[in-house]
Each structure stands twice: as C-alpha cells, then as structure tokens.
Amino acid sequence: MAIRKIVQYPDPVLREKAKPVTKFHARLHKLLDDMAETMYDAQGVGLAAPQVGILKRAIVVDVGDGLIEMINPEITEKSGEQISPPEGCLSIPNLLGEVRRYNRIKVVGQDRNGEPIEIEADGYLARAFQHEIDHLNGVLFIDIAERVFRPEENEEDSDE
C-alpha cells in the first residue's frame, strides 16, 4: 500500500467523468488499498479515484463503521433530505459548504472482485456516498452548496 497524492482543486481531472471499471484485477485491488490508506492518512471519510488522478468509478468510504469499497456505484433509491453538518473535501482544503443531500439512499455497485453489492445508507453515510459519487461525475460540493465558507467563519457564526 502507498499514500497517493490527493489532487487539489482547480485541477481539471476533478471535473472529468470517471469511466466504468471493467477489469477486477490486482491493479484495481492496489488502487483500492492505496485509496483507503490515503483517505485515512488525510483523516477523511471518503475518497474517489479521480481525487488521486485515476478516472475510474471507484470509491472508498469510512464514516467510523468500517471501510466500504465500491466499484461502479449507482444510487437507485433516495428519500428525505438533510443539510448539516457542513461538508468538506480533501481536494478542496480550507472550505466547507452547506449542501442539501438525500437523507436515505440505496447504492448498488460491485466489490473489488466484481461481485454485486447493495448498501442502504442514511444520515452521514448517505451524505458521504453522495459526495464521493458526485466526484465520479465531475461534480464538487462547491458546485451544489447553498453556502460555501471557511471553517473559521463557521466558528464565528456559532459564537453569536
């Protein structure tokens, strides 16, 4: 495993649409392992392959309940809405945003070996999945946020 460099905004790769994964081999496994190690090292809760410069539909997520890897993820069901807590992104340091997301989703995709998987997620996990799947489509949280701000601005708001 290796820690990879996280691509930073405004790198154009972050605006590209990732291609479906069709080969489930050792290189994909290494990519997933590296992505997980990179995410943990950066103290993130999710990472998409385009964030390490690879235009493949692969994500890793861990909101505190263990690592989830998903290849070719698609949201097939969605309901409710949530807007907090503020969202951040490893590719856009020093900015947060208030983003309206679905509160409950069902995501289908494949595991690292190409086997089908399905996950029902709500709350924070649903938010993390939506954020990472957006990356696969070249969408950043700053594109859809109702408000974008620096972390220190949020601290100032809470003192009022």
For the annotated catalytic residues, the residue numbers are 132
d(CA 89, CA 145): 12
3-class DSSP state of 152: helix
CB 106 within 8 A of CB 119: yes
131 assigned binding-site residue: yes
Rounded Cα distance, 46 and 67, in Å? 9
Could you tell me if 148 and 95 are in contact, meaning their C-beta atoms sit under 8 angstroms apart? yes
> Is 158 annotated as belonging to a binding site?
no
Q: How far apart are CA 36 and CA 33, in angstroms?
A: 5
Task: Identify which of 2, 113, 111, 136 has the alpha carbon closest to the alpha carbon of residue 57.
Answer: 136
Q: Does the annotation flag 89 for ligand binding?
A: yes
Residues of each annotated binding site: 89, 131, 135
Q: Residues at the annotated binding site for Fe cation? A: 89, 131, 135
